[in-house]
Amino acid sequence: MTAPPSIRVCPVTPVLRDAVLGLHVQPEQDGFVSPPARTLPDAEQCPDSEPMAILLGDAVIGYYRIERSARSLTGRDADADALGLRSFQLDARWQGRGLGAIAMEALLADLAQRHPQARRMLLTVNCANTAALALYLRHGFIDSDELYHGGRSGPQHLLWRALP
């Protein structure tokens, strides 16, 4: 049996920035997630946002943002104490290999190390993005049965997950 690929996550550094900016999803996913070329500059300017790279060895294969307050995702004061997850994506060249699940495990392990005080995390996922929804549900996220209607491509499920 082959060992799973070694995936790690780390903050986007100047050395990794160009590789992150070059990431792209499949064309049919464009309505679900904005490219890092659009979201990374915003994340770099926002003091409450942490742009993160997903690496396989030394290769940048994905990107996401952690928001120190999920209120920035939902607009609800009740979510101010939770972390938010935005823009989780793997580059199109790396999709379909089971790496998304390994990357999610690395993300959650990193949060436990860097944000030990955090008790929950929220995210939104487009109702039509069944692959992403399945990934999140497999990793302990719970559908709140509420829809967020602020997405650019239609309604989104609001999911949450308890953090250790």
* Inter-residue long-range contacts of 137-144, CB under 8 Å, 24+ positions, other chains counted: 138/101, 139/101, 139/104, 139/105, 139/108
Tokens of 109: 């392990």
HSE-CB of 111 using CA atoms within 13 angstroms: 26
Kindly list the averaged pLDDT for each block of 10 residues, start to end, along the chain of length 164: 78 98 92 91 94 96 93 72 92 93 94 92 90 92 82 80 89
Q: Domains of the chain (ranges plus CATH)?
A: 7-117 (3.40.630.30)
pLDDT in tens, 76-116: 766 778 899 999 999 999 999 999 999 999 999 999 999 99
